[in-house]
Structure 1
């Protein structure tokens, strides 16, 4: 059975896959630039991000609920990004945003590594430039220290 025969035999499935793909493409075109331009330019400077646990101390139940919702949204974005690698949409950027939304150990180092890849950083900075934002800054004194640690025998 060829692909055309399969599509003709499963018209309803084909229609819904095409509709979902078009909707996700449209949503991605709107949401990804919106999120990318809101990342602070110095988001990746420094070894660690300062802890922000005021809400956790004031209301642990609300904090846990928000953490669960945030991680669920992030996981859905990562899965949608994976699907968009083969469907229309900005899969890589959607996965990056999903990772940025989630919380997990080693997240900051992973984010920095992922965004520092040439094509990814170039695309993010091109979107930021189009909306009048300054490019992401990835270098800092502590990154030089990181490289010195790696180079040292």
Structure 2
């Protein structure tokens, strides 16, 4: 074990490893708190592609542009964090799903629906929603 640690220390300084560990722990705890809140607050028909979604529809166009930029940046941060959580502690798949829901790109809703329709993911989310007396997601 000491030889493994010595090999890692050759490539990555100890203080960087300590900072990465702290960031990993913080992101793990944050994901345990924030992801359930987001998934519980979603409308039950959020992933139904037959229901149109409008974001900031009745706001000034300049405010919509800034809002869309901020929303896409936040989604990108969630996607990156989710990808990192695939290798570190955290809810990587769910975090990436949240990130996908923020980012705008063609055929996004179809991709979200394909991810959500996976039985394990849908069961997990609906079980979480049931605990807080929210209706299950419909596809």
Q: Same fold (TM over 0.5)?
A: yes
Cα distance, 1:47 vs. partner?
2.5
2:33 maps to 30
Aligned positions of 1:107-118 closer than 5 A = 107-118=108-119
Question: Residues 14, 75 of structure 1: CA spacing in aligned structure 2 closer, same or farther, 3 A cutoff?
Answer: same
- Note the alpha carbon deviations across 1:4-46, whole angstroms, 9 max, x for none: 2135563211111110000000110110000000111122234
Question: Residues 28, 51 of structure 1: CA spacing in aligned structure 2 closer, same or farther, 3 A cutoff?
Answer: closer
Gaps of 5+ in 2: none
Question: Residues 16, 54 of structure 1: CA spacing in aligned structure 2 closer, same or farther, 3 A cutoff?
Answer: same
1:147 maps to none
CA contact (8 A) 1:7 1:14 kept: no
Gaps of 5+ in 1: 139-153
Structure 2 CA distance, aligned partners of 1:7 and 1:130?
Answer: 43
TM-score (norm 1): 0.80
Deviating beyond 6 angstroms after TM superposition, the runs of 4 or more aligned structure 1 residues are none
1:54 pairs, out of 54, 58, 82, with: 58
CA contact (8 A) 1:28 1:94 kept: yes
Tell which structure's C-alpha radius of gyration is larger. Answer: 1
TM-score (norm 2): 0.87
2:48 maps to 45
Structure 2 CA distance, aligned partners of 1:6 and 1:49?
Answer: 54
2:22 pairs, out of 19, 26, 33, with: 19
Q: Indicate the SS of the match to 2:87.
A: coil
Cα distance, 1:2 vs. partner?
4.5
Structure 1 CA distance, aligned partners of 2:91 and 2:53?
Answer: 30
Q: Indicate the SS of the match to 2:41.
A: coil
* Matched length: 135
